[in-house]
Amino acid sequence: TSFLNNLRSNHSARASSLGGGGTGSGGGGSGDSKGNAFLLPGATMATILMLGALHARRLYEDKKIEEKRERGIELEFKPDVKASFLGILPLRSISRAWGSLTSVEIPVWMRPYVYKAWSRAFHSNLEEPALPLEEYASLQEFFVRSLKEGCRPIDPDPRCLVSPVDGTVVRFGELKGSRGMIEQVKGHSYSVSALLGNNCLLPMAPEGKESEDEEAIGENNDKSWWTVSLASPKLRESISASPMKGLYYCVIYLKPGDYHRIHSPADWNALVRRHFAGRLFPVNERATRTIRNLYVENERVVLEGVWKEGFMALAAVGATNIGSIELFIEPELRTNKPKKKLFPTEPPEERVYDPEGHGVKLEKGKQVGAFNMG
Amino acid sequence: STVVLVFQAPTANTPEGSSSSSDFRFCVKHGDRVRVGEALGRWKEE
C-alpha cells in the first residue's frame, strides 16, 4: 500500500509541475488516481479467479479419470507439464523446511486441537496412539507415534508373510523373466535391481529371453545379473537359488494419516542396508502416472537379507512431505541430508551388518523403522 | 511414502498357468487397505 501511495504522490507531483494543476489539464491526475485505486483489488480478484479456474480444471480432470476407472480402463503412464515442473523444484529443501516447521514445539494446551485437526484432515485414528495427545511435543512427534499394545496383532500362521506397514496395496505379483520388472503403472516399469541397487543379493536369475518392449532402468547392460551373482560371495552364499522358489513383490502406499512405523514382515535376517540419497517427488496416485521412475528416483532405504524361504528385501521410499526414513536397528542413519549436488546415478551408501552373513535378526512384527516428516 | 517388498516364496515350479496348492498366493487385492501384521500372502506345505 505504501508503495502505491508513493507512486500516486510522485505521479500527482509530476502532473502539477508540468501543467500547473490537475484540473487545468483535463483532470488527468484525478482519473489516474481512480485507476490506481482499482489496481490492488483488481490484482486480487484476478488471482482468485485464476486459482479458482485451476481448481475447477483439477476437479474436471479427476472426474474424467474416475469415469475412465469405472469403465475399467486402466490409466497409462503419461508424463505432463506438472511433473516436469516438479523436477525443477528444490524438493529436498522444501521437505527439510517442512520438517523444521513440523518439529516446532506446540504449546501443551494447543496440542489436542492441532492433532485432532490433522486426524480429521487425514483420517487418522486417535484411539490408537500409545500416549495422550498432550505428550506429543510437535506434529513430527505425533506423526511418528507408536500405538497402544495390541493394536496391530500379528498373524501367527508360520506360512504367511504379513504387511510391514499400514497402507493401501498398490501393486503385487510374481516377478517373471530375467529382468524382474515391477510395473509402476501401465506402460512403465522399473527393474528390481534399479530399485534395490545394482549389486543386490538376489539369486542368479535364469537366463531369460529379453522382451524388447520392456524399459529397463538403471541397467547398463544385461550383465548386471551376473554381477549380482558375483557380488560379495560371502553374502551370496547365504542365499541359494532354488528352482522351488518364486520371486514376488508387493507395493504398499502409506497415506499421510496412516500409522508410519515399519515392522518386520517375517522372521528374517537383515544382512545389508543400502541408502539411496535421491529426489523427493510427491508420492501419490497422480505422481505414479506422470513421474518416470518415481520409486527409483526418490530417496529410499533398502534392507536386504534372508528368511527361511530365501531372499527378502524391504525398500522404504520417501516423499516430499515424508522425506526422512529412520531405522531403529541403526539409529545413527540420517536421510534427506543437505547435499551440494545430487547425481542421479550416485551409488548408494551401503553397510553390511555384522556379523557378515548373519546380520541383524528381525522377528515377525517387530518394529524396524519409521517414516518421518522432513 | 511407499514400502516395496521383494521376496522369495515357495512355488511348486509347476508349468505356466497352472498352480499347486503349495504355491505362495497373495490374499490381498489391488486397492485393499492393509494393516501391520495382517497376512499379505500364504502358502501350504505339502
β partners of residue A362: A268
Contacts of A161 in chain B (CB under 8 A): 5, 7, 9, 24, 39-42
Taking contacts as CB-CB distances below 8 angstroms, the residues of chain B near A274 are: none
In angstroms, the CA A362 to CA B20 distance is: 30
DSSP code per residue over B1-46? -EEEEEEEEE---PPTT---TTS-EE---TT-EE-TTSEEEE----
A1: cell is: 500500500
Alpha-carbon distance of A166 to A182, in angstroms, equals 21
Q: Look at residue A286 and tell me whether its pLDDT is greater than 50.
A: yes
> Does residue B4 have a pLDDT over 80?
yes
| CB nearest B11 (choices: A159, A168, A246) | A246
Band (pLDDT 50/70/90 cuts) for residue A54 is confident
Strands A300-307 and A268-276 turn out to be antiparallel
Mean pLDDT to the nearest integer, A360-374:
95
ipTM, two decimals, is 0.89
Rounded to an integer, what distance in angstroms lies between the CA atom of residue A181 and that of residue A249?
A: 10
Question: How far away is chain A from the Cα of B26, in angstroms, using its nearest Cα?
Answer: 8
Are the C-beta atoms of A348 and A296 separated by less than 8 Å?
no
* Side-chain half-sphere exposure of A86, counting CA atoms within 13 A: 22
Report whether A218 contacts A193 (CB < 8 A).
yes
Give me the percent of chain A exceeding a pLDDT of 70: 78
Q: CB A155 to CB B38 under 8 A?
A: yes
Q: Do A310 and B9 touch (CB under 8 A)?
A: yes
Backbone angles phi, psi at A350, to 5 degrees: -120, 145
Question: What are the chain A neighbours of B28 within 8 Å (beta carbons)?
Answer: 169, 172, 250
Q: Which of B10, B35, B38 is nearest residue A309 as measured by Cβ atoms?
A: B10
pLDDT digits (tens, 9 = 90+) for A113-140: 999 999 999 999 999 999 999 999 999 9
Which among B5, B23, B36 is the nearest to A314, CB-wise? B5
d(CA A182, CA A313) in angstroms, rounded, equals: 14
Shortest distance, CA A5 to any CA of chain B (angstroms): 49
Q: Which chain A residue has its CA at the smallest distance from B12's CA?
A: A244
Write out pLDDT tens, residues B37-46: 999 999 987 6
Find out whether the peptide bond into A355 is cis, omega within 30 degrees of 0. Answer: yes
pLDDT in tens, A257-275: 999 999 999 999 999 999 9
A275 HSE (CA, 13 A, CB side): 16
On whether the CB atoms of residues A270 and A196 are closer than 8 A, the answer is: no
Task: Collect all residues of chain B within an 8 Å Cβ-Cβ radius of residue A163.
Answer: 34-40
Grid cell digits, residue A321: 512431505
Angle at A199 between CA A198 and CA A204, to 5 degrees: 100
β A360-362/A268-276 pair status: antiparallel
Pick from B2, B41, B42: CB nearest A252 = B2
Sign for the CA dihedral angle at A84, A256, A315, A214 comes to: negative
Q: Which residues on chain A are in Cβ contact (under 8 Å) with B38?
A: 155, 162-163
Among A95-99, A173-177, A324-328, A359-363, name the one with the lowest average pLDDT: A173-177
CA-nearest residue of chain B to A318? B1
* Candidate from A127-136, A217-226, A286-295 with smallest mean pLDDT: A217-226
- Cell digits of residue A338: 543437505
Rounded-to-integer distance, Cα A112 and Cα A53, Å: 36
- Judge contact between A269 and A306, C-beta under 8 A: yes
Distance of residue B19 Cα from the nearest chain A Cα, in angstroms: 12
Q: Which residues from A are below 8 Å from B13, CB to CB?
A: 243-244
Higher pLDDT: A330 or A44? It is A330
Chain B residues closer than 8 Å to A315 by CB: 3-6
Among A30-39, A76-85, A167-176, A191-200, which stretch is predicted with the lowest mean pLDDT? A30-39
For residue B29, the tally of other CB atoms under 10 A from its CB is: 8
Asked if B44 has any chain A CB less than 8 Å from its own CB, the reply is yes
Residues A79 and A85: their CA atoms lie apart, in Å, by: 11
- The residue of chain B with its CA nearest to that of A364 is B37
Confidence of residue A57 (pLDDT cuts 50, 70, 90): confident
Q: Do A157 and B39 touch (CB under 8 A)?
A: yes
Q: Cα separation of A169 and B5, whole Å?
A: 11
Q: Cβ B4–A295 below 8 Å, yes or no? A: yes
- Tally Cβ neighbours within 10 Å of residue A105: 11
For A186, phi then psi, to 5°, come to: -55, 125
Q: Which of A95, A167, A106 is nearest to A141 (CA)?
A: A106
Which of B9, B30, B37 has its CB closest to that of A248?
B9
Compute CA A304 distance to the chain's CA centroid, rounded to the nearest angstrom.
Answer: 20
Q: Inter-chain contact B11–A259, Cβ cutoff 8 Å?
A: no
CA distances in angstroms from A175 to A99, A180, B24, B44, listed in the order given: 36, 5, 13, 20
Q: Which residues of B touch A166 (CB under 8 A)?
A: 34-36
Query: Reduced to 3 states, what is the DSSP secondary structure of residue A231?
Result: coil
Biggest alpha carbon distance in chain B? 38
pLDDT digits (tens, 9 = 90+) for B10-38: 886 555 555 555 689 999 999 999 999 99
Look at residue A24 in the predicted model and tell me its pLDDT. Answer: 42
The one-character DSSP state at A133 is: G
Residue A331 DSSP symbol: T
Q: Calculate ∠ Cα A309-A310-A311, nearest 5°.
A: 135
Chain A neighbors of B29, CB-CB under 8 A: 169
